Amino acid sequence: MAYTDFERRLLQTYFSVVDGSEHADVYLVRNLPAEVAATLNGVYSRSSKSMRDQFLDRLKQGLAAQGRKLEDLRLPDGKVDELSAVMADKSGKFLKTYAIDHGHNSLREGSVVHLAVERVSQLVTRFIQRERRCSFEESSTRYIPFTAETHYRDPDVVAAGGDVLADYEAVLAETFTLYTKATEVLLTHLRRVRPLAAGEQESAWLRTLKAEAFDAARYLLTPAIYTKWGMVADARTLSDIVTELLSHPLAEFRLVGERLKAEAEKALPTLLKHARPNAFLQHQHELLPTIAAELGIAGSDVRTGPAEGRTELLRYDRELDDRLLASLLYESSRLPFDALVDRVRALAADERQALLDRVMARRGSHDAWPQGLEGADPFEFETVLDFGAYRDVGRHRKGFQQQQRLTTAHGFAVPPLMRDADLADEYTAVMNRAAVRQQRIAERFPHASAYVTPFGFLQRVRLQFDPRQVDYFVELRSGPEGHFSYRRVAIEMFEHVRRVSPLFARFIRARLGDAFLGRLDSEMTAEERRQRRMEAAGDA
């Protein structure tokens, strides 16, 4: 299509390429409100025109409805309010008809917002970040010390007052006081036992010590502590999240849901219409605990004091090797999948190994397993680990995960560094008192008691990862620079896989070396990369 000079100048503001190629015409859509961009994406299925031409057509239609023509617009000069208003009105009508009234959810997936969420508890954060269709970035408990007493107080507990509020406040006060003390004591201890060695960079060495100290001290933090994070989500996913939050028993969850909706509607005025409290979800929060109590499975024997976590393999594909090899070959074959399984099953063990060796021979250090290695039933694990470590495990949202309600009934982990620095007795005493108080609060406020369940207490979690995701998780989380607790989970997963599928376990790069030295190596590498960039900038 031939554009006028005015049209061309207009298009340059919103599209990175105006005159596209005959083949592979790719361009960036920019500077448009989210719902306008979603509409342009949505009308692709209803028109043979390019997105640029659709943009001009819809803009002209919107102006015509106002008795105006394209040339009446001022060309964009960084302030696009006039054009945005015309396009947003047109887009809003389209999206209401198709995305809202007719339920075409793919249109809602085309509108994406970036939200910053700050000064919210770790509890509501974990709930939201279960969502597998979003991208999140959160403040780290490893690299950022929590220096201020900024805890959320559940309003129902506050309103109840009396002993239950006293217990709530006592847990927050005692755990945070020891956390503050422990960060200093642990760092001082590490400086003494691991002094800077010749050839080590001081900045990398100090970051390593701080990370290890914070890793241990954070066991005393509670889910009530405030955090902050960024979130990128499409309108469909955000609507689901807001609905879940507005339907939750806890007041903070409902408040965060209201704030998310209010802010997102500034960019998505049409697409969050159906985000409201849901009676079915609300009933589930009431009904399922009732059924569990009726069946006698709601509680468990309470264990006090230190305890060890563990990871068990619940289920795996008994034909794992055959199905994964067949899956690898499927796209290059014309045979039915069952026939491929029979063919690879007939191979001798050394032939199977040679085949897989050939496939994986050129795999680089950052290369994922081939996608075909998702082609078997998932591994299902159940792990008992501290909540602090689960915050990192939970980031692996590609798999299915279930976490039971936070409890102190399974005992708590004691970081080895606490023992090394002679803090174990004080730590244990504080955690034991926290357990007693948390359990008293849970009798009246089972949901709110999670706010005062310190990170060090063990929780039961169910994980389902396909074989490719197991490889990714083990390789990443067994890294010696990682937290010692989730590192244990990754290594135990690897041992289970090696037991049931030694063939594929050979290609999982589990890292079993010394944690501190590995972490220092990692920090040194990062420091060296920074140094090279600085030198390159200096040369430039």
Residue 112, H or E segment: strand 112-121
Residue 380 pLDDT greater than 70, yes or no = yes
Alpha carbon separation from 429 to 164, 176, 448 (Å, rounded): 20, 14, 23
Question: Average pLDDT of 501-506?
Answer: 92
Q: Is residue 533 part of a domain?
A: no
Q: Is residue 496 part of a domain?
A: yes
Choose the most confident range, by mean pLDDT, from 145-149, 304-308, 416-420. Answer: 416-420
At 188-211, the pLDDT tens digits run: 999 999 999 888 888 888 888 998
At 236-247, the pLDDT tens digits run: 899 999 999 999
Nearest by Cα to 110 from 45, 15, 62: 45
**Which amino acid does the sequence have at 95?**
L
Q: Is residue 540 part of a domain?
A: no
Residue with more model confidence, 115 or 428: 428
Q: Where are the alpha helices (DSSP H) in 332-458?
A: 337-345, 349-360, 387-393, 416-420, 424-444
Structural domain of 214: 117-311+379-519
Mark whether 404 and 501 lie in a shared domain: yes
Choose the most confident range, by mean pLDDT, from 196-210, 365-379, 419-433. Answer: 419-433
Mark whether 222 and 285 lie in a shared domain: yes
Count, residues in the chain: 540
Mark whether 391 and 474 lie in a shared domain: yes
Mark whether 25 and 159 lie in a shared domain: no
Q: What is the mean pLDDT of the chain?
A: 85
Question: Average pLDDT of 111-118?
Answer: 84
At 324-348, the pLDDT tens digits run: 999 999 999 999 999 999 999 999 9
Least confident range of 39-48, 80-89, 183-192: 80-89
User: Measured between alpha carbons, how far is 60 from 435 in angstroms, rounded to an integer?
Assistant: 66
Q: Where are the alpha helices (DSSP H) in 265-386?
A: 279-294, 320-330, 337-345, 349-360
pTM for this prediction: 0.81
Other CB atoms within 10 Å distance of the CB of residue 133: 13
User: Measured between alpha carbons, how far is 408 from 436 in angstroms, rounded to an integer?
Assistant: 8
Mark whether 365 and 236 lie in a shared domain: no
Question: Average pLDDT of 510-520?
Answer: 60
Q: pLDDT band at residue 83, thresholds of 50, 70 and 90? A: low
Q: pLDDT band at residue 407, thresholds of 50, 70 and 90? A: very high
Mark whether 351 and 417 lie in a shared domain: no
Q: Is residue 349 part of a domain?
A: yes
**What pLDDT is stored for residue 114 in this prediction?**
82
User: Measured between alpha carbons, how far is 458 from 385 in angstroms, rounded to an integer?
Assistant: 5
Given a contact cutoff of 8 angstroms between Cβ atoms, the answer to whether 268 and 113 are in contact is yes
Least confident range of 52-66, 328-342, 380-394, 447-461: 52-66
Question: Average pLDDT of 133-152?
Answer: 79
- Largest Cα–Cα distance in the chain? 80
Mark whether 301 and 337 lie in a shared domain: no
**What pLDDT is stored for residue 350 in this prediction?**
93
**What pLDDT is stored for residue 536 in this prediction?**
46
Mark whether 370 and 395 lie in a shared domain: no
Domain termination site, one of 374, 390, 405: 374
**Joined tokens for residue 173:** 């006060």
Question: Average pLDDT of 393-401?
Answer: 85
Question: Average pLDDT of 10-18?
Answer: 88
Q: pLDDT band at residue 94, thresholds of 50, 70 and 90? A: very low
| Beta-carbon contacts of residue 511 (< 8 Å; ≥ 6 apart) | 475, 478, 479, 480, 518
**What pLDDT is stored for residue 342 in this prediction?**
96
Identify the sign of the CA torsion 494, 497, 502, 504: negative
Residue 287 pLDDT greater than 90, yes or no = yes
Beta bridge partners of 11: none
User: Measured between alpha carbons, how far is 34 from 332 in angstroms, rounded to an integer?
Assistant: 41
User: Measured between alpha carbons, how far is 273 from 283 in angstroms, rounded to an integer?
Assistant: 22
| Beta-carbon contacts of residue 228 (< 8 Å; ≥ 6 apart) | 116, 117, 118, 119, 120, 138, 139
113 burial level (CB within 10 Å; 0-12, 13-18, 19+): buried
Mark whether 154 and 283 lie in a shared domain: yes
Mark whether 158 and 253 lie in a shared domain: yes
**What pLDDT is stored for residue 104 in this prediction?**
47
**What pLDDT is stored for residue 286 in this prediction?**
93
Q: Is residue 529 part of a domain?
A: no
**Which amino acid does the sequence have at 49?**
K
Mark whether 337 and 387 lie in a shared domain: no
**Helices 467-477 and 484-500 meet at what angle, rounded to 10?**
140
Beta bridge partners of 463: 381, 401
Residue 403, H or E segment: strand 400-403
Q: pLDDT band at residue 139, thresholds of 50, 70 and 90? A: confident
Given a contact cutoff of 8 angstroms between Cβ atoms, the answer to whether 281 and 254 are in contact is no
**What pLDDT is stored for residue 527 in this prediction?**
54
Given a contact cutoff of 8 angstroms between Cβ atoms, the answer to whether 461 and 382 are in contact is yes
Mark whether 280 and 400 lie in a shared domain: yes
Q: pLDDT band at residue 531, thresholds of 50, 70 and 90? A: low
Least confident range of 45-49, 236-240, 371-375, 433-437: 45-49
Nearest by Cα to 434 from 220, 189, 194, 154: 220
Place of tokens 């050129």: 362
Identify the CATH number of the domain in which residue 258 sits. 3.30.70.3180
**What pLDDT is stored for residue 100 in this prediction?**
44
Residue 181 pLDDT greater than 90, yes or no = yes
Given a contact cutoff of 8 angstroms between Cβ atoms, the answer to whether 511 and 365 are in contact is no
Residue with more model confidence, 438 or 132: 438
Q: Is residue 193 part of a domain?
A: yes
| Beta-carbon contacts of residue 355 (< 8 Å; ≥ 6 apart) | 325, 344, 347
User: Measured between alpha carbons, how far is 374 from 485 in angstroms, rounded to an integer?
Assistant: 26
Residue with more model confidence, 300 or 459: 459
Task: Determine what percent of the chain is predicted with pLDDT higher than 90.
Answer: 52
Residue 458, H or E segment: strand 458-465
User: Measured between alpha carbons, how far is 281 from 243 in angstroms, rounded to an integer?
Assistant: 9
**Joined tokens for residue 32:** 């448009």
Q: Is residue 146 part of a domain?
A: yes
Least confident range of 258-262, 318-322, 399-403, 534-538: 534-538
Residue 299 pLDDT greater than 90, yes or no = no
Q: Where are the alpha helices (DSSP H) in 218-318?
A: 235-246, 251-264, 279-294
Least confident range of 31-40, 165-174, 249-258, 494-503: 31-40
Paired sense of beta strands 135-138 and 226-234, if any: antiparallel
Domain count within the chain: 3
At 31-67, the pLDDT tens digits run: 877 777 777 776 666 677 888 888 888 888 888 888 8
**What pLDDT is stored for residue 282 in this prediction?**
95
Q: Is residue 275 part of a domain?
A: yes
| 3-state DSSP assignment of residue 352 | helix
**What pLDDT is stored for residue 396 in this prediction?**
84
Q: pLDDT band at residue 517, thresholds of 50, 70 and 90? A: very low
Q: pLDDT band at residue 142, thresholds of 50, 70 and 90? A: low
